[in-house]
A and B are shown apart, each in its own frame.
Chain A
Amino acid sequence: MSSIVSISNLSKTYEGGFQALKNVSLDIQRGEILALLGPNGAGKTTLISIICGIVNPSQGTVSVDGCDIIKDYRLTRERIGLVPQELTLGAFESVWDTFCFSRGLFGKKPNPQYLEQLLKDLSLWEKRNEMIMNLSGGMKRRVLIGKALAHEPMILFLDEPTAGVDVELRKDMWAQVERLRKAGVTIILTTHYIEEAEAIADRVGVINQGELLVVDDKLALMHKLGKRQLMIELESSIGSMPEALAGFKLEIGTEGDQLTYTYDPHKANTGIDELLKALTGAGLVIKDLHSVKTSLEEIFVNLVKANGRSAA
């Protein structure tokens, strides 16, 4: 696989002295969807802004499609489209005009057919002559996406595209992302909705306090770091943990009739057999049993927690 964006040892210290990125290295593969996860202030927007040319890096290099983002900025920037996190749009221009502006700004000659199709894909064609200030928030978000796509980029950065967007529109957006991926566009998105990353990303990167904690294939990550939980429902509730079960990592549910056992499915001995024997030995009657995988969300929360502890 060839990487389309290659980041090496990137650091950023803002003027005030705050270090927002610490020695980040990352290769983004051609045609993939990469989700960047991280809590508020982790450095996601900073990372994207450097690649797009809005913020100057303090250290390190980034190359896009083999070109350096500073020396060959014209070549790298015309390949990139950016949908910013904030709704930053002019108020007094029409949707059509702002699309034409974006296309021209990125050095492409006018192409009304392409822009018409783009507006239709984003369900904005009816609104093309409307002033931007007369659009709803969700429509403005789509205008931003359209502006980023107006020059037919091969890499698209989406910085929290679904913040403040309803479920319906979010689905539309992911359908659009899927279409773009099919057309060969590489997509990098940041999000706080982990289900989203879980649903559409190929790979997931986790950033916290300016450090890239992991980047991995989504499934591999869930496989490697994922735990399984065995949920045990009891016939009758228990007040406290019986002596015989003290050796197991068990949690009692609030009702007292459910026990949760967390284990690592990749270990040779998961401990389930011993646990079940111990349960019967303690005289507890099992009503139901089922196991669940931990979600990406829990993996993420654990990673960030562990990082916070080691940093503190």
Chain B
Amino acid sequence: MNIHAIRVIYKYEMKRAFKTIAQSFASPVISTVLYFVVFGTAIGSRIDAIDNVSYGLFIVPGLVMLTVLSQSLANASFGIYFPRFTGQIYEVLSAPVSFVEIVTGYVGAAATKSFLIALIILATASFFVEMRIDHPFLMLAFLILTCISFSLFGFIIGLWASDFEKLQIIPLLVITPLVFLGGTFYTIEMLPPVWQTISLFNPVVYLVSGFRWSFFEVSDVSVGLSLSMVLLFLLICLLIIGWMFKTGYRLKQ
């Protein structure tokens, strides 16, 4: 195990985040504040409480998930795409590191960043609403699993993308709609029955639902199902990464 390699890759990626601190940490905070002002306060004051949870509080887990998903994808995909694009990747390829070590370094750093951002958002949100977390450990487990699995997914995108457009296209065209339709700002019970059924094919529903349950025991689907879906997604990402490792996909000619 080349621990030193994991350490320097991780450190390099974390340093990159702190160098662009405004972009990395301030922008998620600002957008969260905006969501709260618009949805939580302005519109939310006219929306009834859902299962005895005020609307402002209700959207907190959804907002955290929204940011964690997009940040994990953006950080992890860019982290590996950029050195491929500039050619710097030659050094990693010629080093005595295994693919597992490369993934651990890059994905570990991206997941850490998302995790920190999630904590910042929760802290910011607690200025607007009275925070309530019924199952803090389950909440952390959901959060960490999501950070890791979506960073893995981002890493896959960063390897697959052959240009900047492809790098953006999956987050924009697939993830953003799934997140907005995934019960981030509402419970799917509010939808007409047909759409409720369709929603069950959206993996983000399970994520948000389970995560929200760990806050106030309110969910669209059972927690056990949510947890299994997250683990399934993690497994799928690991399998894809494993296959990429075996074939040297997009890394080596």
Chain A residues at the B interface, C-beta cutoff of 8 Å: 14-15, 52-56, 73-75, 77-78, 80, 82, 84, 86, 88-90, 92-93, 97, 100-109, 147
Contact of B2 among A84, A92, A107 (CB under 8 A): A107
Cβ proximity bits B11-42 to A, threshold 8 Å, 1 near / 0 not: 01001100100000000000000000000000
Residues of A with C-beta under 8 A to B94: 52-54, 77, 80, 82
Contacts A15-B253, A74-B2, A101-B8 given; does A107 touch B96 at CB 8 Å? yes
CA distance A95 to B88 in the complex (A): 15
Contacts A56-B252, A74-B2 given; does A100 touch B96 at CB 8 Å? no
**B86/A108 in contact, CB under 8 A:** no
CA distance A114 to B248 in the complex (A): 34
**A54/B2 in contact, CB under 8 A:** no
Contact of B5 among A15, A54, A75, A107 (CB under 8 A): A107
A112 to chain B, nearest CB (A): 14
CA distance A108 to B248 in the complex (A): 25
B128, CB-defined interface residue at 8 Å: no
CA distance A52 to B94 in the complex (A): 5
Residues of A with C-beta under 8 A to B120: none
**A78/B8 in contact, CB under 8 A:** no
CA distance A74 to B97 in the complex (A): 7
Contact of A105 among B86, B87, B95 (CB under 8 A): B95
Contacts A55-B252, A56-B253 given; does A105 touch B4 at CB 8 Å? yes
B65, CB-defined interface residue at 8 Å: no
Q: Identify the interface centre among B87, B94, B97: most chain A CB within 10 Å of its CB.
A: B94
A16 to chain B, nearest CB (A): 10
Contact of B96 among A15, A74, A93, A147 (CB under 8 A): A74
**A90/B88 in contact, CB under 8 A:** yes
CA distance A102 to B4 in the complex (A): 10
Chain B residues at the A interface, C-beta cutoff of 8 Å: 2, 4-5, 7-9, 12, 15-16, 19, 86-88, 90-97, 248, 252-253
B56 to chain A, nearest CB (A): 39
CA distance A93 to B15 in the complex (A): 9
Residues of B with C-beta under 8 A to A92: 16, 19
**A73/B96 in contact, CB under 8 A:** yes
CA distance A75 to B96 in the complex (A): 7
New A-B contacts (19) at CB < 8 Å, excluding given A97-B12, A102-B91, A103-B8: A15-B253, A53-B93, A54-B252, A56-B252, A75-B96, A82-B94, A84-B87, A88-B90, A90-B86, A104-B5, A105-B5, A105-B8, A105-B92, A106-B4, A106-B5, A107-B2, A107-B5, A108-B4, A147-B91
In chain A, what residue has the closest Cβ to B20? A92
CA distance A101 to B92 in the complex (A): 10
In chain A, what residue has the closest Cβ to B94? A52
**A106/B7 in contact, CB under 8 A:** no
Residues of B with C-beta under 8 A to A104: 4-5, 7-8
CA distance A53 to B253 in the complex (A): 10
Residues of B with C-beta under 8 A to A78: 96
**B90/A54 in contact, CB under 8 A:** yes
B99 to chain A, nearest CB (A): 11
Contact of A107 among B4, B9, B91 (CB under 8 A): B4
Contact of A86 among B16, B87, B92, B96 (CB under 8 A): B87
Residues of A with C-beta under 8 A to B91: 82, 102, 105, 147
Residues of A with C-beta under 8 A to B87: 84, 86, 88
CA distance A86 to B12 in the complex (A): 22
CA distance A139 to B4 in the complex (A): 27
**B96/A109 in contact, CB under 8 A:** no
CA distance A80 to B93 in the complex (A): 12
Residues of A with C-beta under 8 A to B88: 88-90
Residues of B with C-beta under 8 A to A15: 253
In chain B, what residue has the closest Cβ to A109? B4
A221 to chain B, nearest CB (A): 30
Residues of B with C-beta under 8 A to A80: 94
Contacts A15-B253, A56-B252 given; does A88 touch B86 at CB 8 Å? yes
CA distance A258 to B248 in the complex (A): 61
Cβ-closest 8 pairs across A and B? A104-B8, A88-B87, A74-B96, A77-B96, A52-B94, A104-B4, A105-B95, A107-B2
